[in-house]
Chain A
Amino acid sequence: MAPNVKAQTAAPLPPKIVKLQKKMARASGPKKKLNRSRAGNALLFIVMGICGVFMALPLVMIVNNALKPLDEIYQFPPRIFVRNPTLSNFSDLFVLMNESWVPFSRYVFNTLIITLGGMAGHVIIASMAAYPLAKNKFPGKKLLFSLVVLSLMFSWTVTEIPKYLIISWLGINNTYAALILPAWGFGMGLYLMKQFMEQLPDSLMESARLQGASEWQIFWRIVMPNVRPAWLTLAIFQFQQMWGTTGGIYLRSEELKPLQYSLQQITTGGISRAGAGAAVTFIIAAVPIIFFLVCQSSILETMTTSGMKE
């Protein structure tokens, strides 16, 4: 296992962070690591290997099913691994896509708006609210924060109907906003961001304040770059959540519906569509996984907060 330090310096970084890292390099000396025994290492690899195989089952199945010809999909007893891999499921899917009443690109566009709008908006405004809650003192702080934590514990199934009524009252039913705005108000994101911001040393904000920085500048230029692992993680959660939405009861117009909805329509075609359905499952899972990998690898390549703490 290579020490983390090597990977940090190897990664290309924006100038802002490079400056911080220089400061950090001064603070931390050569790295010393406690080591495990060789037997401990071997045991760890075996345990991780066995667990990993079990955990990876869904991934393995999605890929294999997407490549199975129809006769293998219905084979009984079912097999996990494909014997004669084919791409015909995907070509079937593309044929079906071209037959759709609304151009298929429209569904993709809708999904992009809903997913990216719901994600970016939430990450930004939840972080904006989290910064004062974590670092400033003001009347009502405790109440505002506990409201968010409490809201996480109320079952969302029963709040769906009141939420539908409110969306109707606001007149945003059957618009993108009916899906995007509620996503901005999710409770988990604020809680996550606040917890990470709490760890930042107060001196970081104080010194910026002495130099005349406004609260907004402190938030955007100092706090956010320093909690990068947190908002990348939040982006993963929110992307996954928004990507999975079918529009449900909120979107009635066909030309507003997201990709998920149209793909589900394809798979309701029954047995003959099972092949295309497997391709659909693959595509639906692949996009969040790619997003996950991109975010996750950039979480692991920056550690700007370390060394900043006194």
Chain B
Amino acid sequence: MNRVEGKRPALSRGAALRHDIRKNAASYLLMAPYYTVFFFFTVLPVLMSVYLSFNYFNMLEAPRWIGWGNYIKLLLEDDIFIISLRNTLIFAVVTGPVSYMLCLLFAWIINEFRPKVRALLTLVFYAPSICGNAYMVWNLILTGDRYGYLNGILMRVGLINEAVLWMQTEKYVMPVLIVVQLWLSLGTGFLSFIAGLQTVDKSMYEAAAIDGVRNRWQELWFVTLPAMKPQLLFGAVMQITQSFAVADISINLAGNPSVNYSGATIVTHLLDYGSTRLDMGYASAIATILFLLMVGTNKLVQKVLRRVGE
């Protein structure tokens, strides 16, 4: 440990670390306020929830330690969890990537317009996320009698003869929820892509044109996307957290529980236990499993995204 490396004076590992920390005092100082609140209001609650997942806790009595009990029940005995896991994976695999592509595609198209038009178009496409009445719109469309807009249109065209109870018919629930989820997809990722496109160095496009980039698709793949890789990674994480946590649309359109659990997702299951049955320990166990699923998916997706533009 006392060997001299290059021109640096010999330091023990501990001393080197202390030296590094002191040298970067300004960095730590800048981070201190954020990480203090982050620790108290984000890290600590998560750790407490993970602890609760090993307990029976009904919010009235003190938590009672039951070890792996919640997890064993969840993975081996809970049939509905298996259904909700399957539905969640469908959302993750179908709406996840498609939403992500839609965010990117629309951000890319909108970015071409004049600034005022761009702001307006961005609002139009972001409207489902900002207006807060998305379910009202879809309830109107999906009303189960002939006055529902979807039923009305399909009957006029002659595709169906009688009104369909869309949200009360098992086979329609998931497809409809997927469509609504896609309609809602232009959210966080979309806005961050819009902002990201603004930071792409314009001179890079000229350089690329000289280097032989012929069309817009090549420009997108070889210039734009590599330049906004940090935003792509961010968008992917946000997409994962959204696709795996689908719950609101299911509860608002199909109800919780939905017909024969056809619209159940991991988070609707979690809410069922957390706020209806008051079994917080079990709900925490569900949250922990969901967390592990997301972390795994994220690892995979980040690996894929590193290859963009190659």
A143 to chain B, nearest CB (A): 11
The answer to whether B199 touches A199 (Cβ under 8 A) is yes
What is the chain A residue whose CB lies nearest that of B152? A77
B141 to chain A, nearest CB (A): 9
Check: A196 CB closer than 8 A to any chain B CB: yes
Check: B157 CB closer than 8 A to any chain A CB: no
Q: Could you pull out 20 A-B pairs where Cβ atoms are within 8 angstroms? A: A7-B115, A32-B205, A51-B106, A59-B127, A61-B137, A138-B28, A153-B244, A158-B274, A159-B45, A161-B59, A166-B41, A181-B37, A190-B34, A196-B195, A215-B30, A229-B198, A233-B192, A285-B132, A297-B116, A299-B198
A157 to B134, CA, bound (A): 21
The answer to whether B123 touches A129 (Cβ under 8 A) is no
Interface string of A6-29 (1 = CB under 8 A from B): 010000000000000000000111
- On chain B, the residues within 8 Å of A2 by CB distance are 114
Known: A58-B127, A185-B34, A191-B234. Is A155-B245 also a contact (CB below 8 A)? Answer: yes
Check: B191 CB closer than 8 A to any chain A CB: yes
A217 to B192, CA, bound (A): 26
A297 to B119, CA, bound (A): 5
Number of B residues near A (Cβ < 8 Å) is 103
Check: A225 CB closer than 8 A to any chain B CB: no
Report which of B24, B41, B140, B233 forms a contact with A182, defined as CB distance below 8 A.
Answer: B41
A237 to B290, CA, bound (A): 24
Number of A residues near B (Cβ < 8 Å) is 106
A contacts, CB < 8 Å to B: 1-2, 4, 7, 27-29, 31-34, 36, 44, 48, 51-52, 54-59, 61-62, 76-78, 80, 125-126, 128-129, 131-133, 136-139, 144, 147-155, 157-163, 165-167, 170, 181-182, 184-188, 190-192, 195-196, 198-199, 214-216, 219, 227, 229-230, 232-233, 236-237, 240, 244, 281, 284-285, 288-289, 292-293, 296-297, 299-303, 305-309
The answer to whether B195 touches A229 (Cβ under 8 A) is yes
The answer to whether A288 touches B195 (Cβ under 8 A) is no
A59 to B231, CA, bound (A): 28
A153 to B24, CA, bound (A): 30
The answer to whether B267 touches A155 (Cβ under 8 A) is yes
The answer to whether A232 touches B195 (Cβ under 8 A) is yes
A282 to B241, CA, bound (A): 29
Interface string of B253-296 (1 = CB under 8 A from A): 00000000000000100110011000010011011001100110
The answer to whether B199 touches A305 (Cβ under 8 A) is yes
Report which of B115, B192, B215 forms a contact with A300, defined as CB distance below 8 A.
Answer: B115
The answer to whether A162 touches B38 (Cβ under 8 A) is no
The answer to whether B114 touches A1 (Cβ under 8 A) is yes
- On chain B, the residues within 8 Å of A155 by CB distance are 245, 267, 270, 286-287, 290-291
- On chain B, the residues within 8 Å of A166 by CB distance are 40-41, 44-45
